[in-house]
Amino acid sequence: MGIVAVLLFETWGFFQEVSIWEYLFSSQWTPLFSEKHFGIAPLLAGTIEVTAGAMFLALPIGLVSAIYLSEYAPEGARRVLKPFLELLAGIPTVVYGYFALLFISPILRGIFPDTSVFNAASASIVMGIMIIPMVSSLSEDAMTAVPRSLREAAYALGGTKMEVSLRVVVPSALSGIIAAFILAISRAIGETMIVAIAAGQQPRLTLNPLEAIQTMTAYIVQVSLGDTPTGTLEFRTIFAVAMTLFVLTLVLNVISQLVLRRFREAYR
């Protein structure tokens, strides 16, 4: 509660000097420049762009791998693949960040010569790789919880393994799968090191993933590691951005709970 209180206090101080209208609807974010603008839109757009790219990679691959582990994989393969996925989840994010900068970015620059050294695409790809174990593990747990009797009934009606997997198991585990997706999105939104290292520090409104951008978490890192005096308006921007990030993840968690209540299946 103390952290939330400090966050609220500093955010309130920020909005005493900056209007909420400018913060929400201005398209420029230059609080550290001589000509200051405080529009959160470029940071919010950068965060959404990187998160969307990561989810485009992680959600289908994670779901397919979960279906394989739950319905197709032999016991021996499951014992090997599950720890391997969990090992990917345990790699420090700073390692992922330098992997994106030093490995993925050069590949992208070789394919698309106009790609910036720091770009949203490399951060999205590596963040998606990092999120896959979370999607796969949580979705596989939800599918494993589906009673075997439902599978046997579907097989008795002549269903193939694919039909049983996609038309019986996945719909029955839908609440857990959607919750896994939303938790993965929340994890991607709050990721710091990958975007701070690989995505750049240029807040801009752009749909081009090959350009440098800045996310909310990367901005917090930039100012926190700088020499901005505490108590200044520039320093309070950290708390305003952090509050925006907090509200965004809170909304996602509330949606997750509503989805669980709406689609939860109770088995006996």
Judge whether 222 and 201 are in contact, CB under 8 Å: yes
Judge whether 186 and 253 are in contact, CB under 8 Å: yes
Give residue-wise pLDDT tens across range 136-163.
988 998 898 888 888 888 888 888 888 8
Give residue-wise pLDDT tens across range 96-113.
999 999 999 999 999 999
SS3 assignment, position 156: helix
In angstroms, the CA 213 to CA 196 distance is: 10
Question: Exposed, middle or buried: residue 172 (CB in 10 Å: 0-12, 13-18, 19+)?
Answer: buried
* The token pair that represents 160 in the structure block: 């193939």
Ranges of residues in the chain with a pLDDT under 50 are none
What's the half-sphere exposure (Cβ side, CA atoms, 13 Å) at 78? 15
Q: Which domains does the chain have, with CATH numbers?
A: 2-29+38-263 (1.10.3720.10)
pLDDT number for residue 79? 83
CA angle 35, 8, 188 (to 5 degrees): 80
pLDDT number for residue 123? 95
Question: What pTM was estimated for this model as a whole?
Answer: 0.89
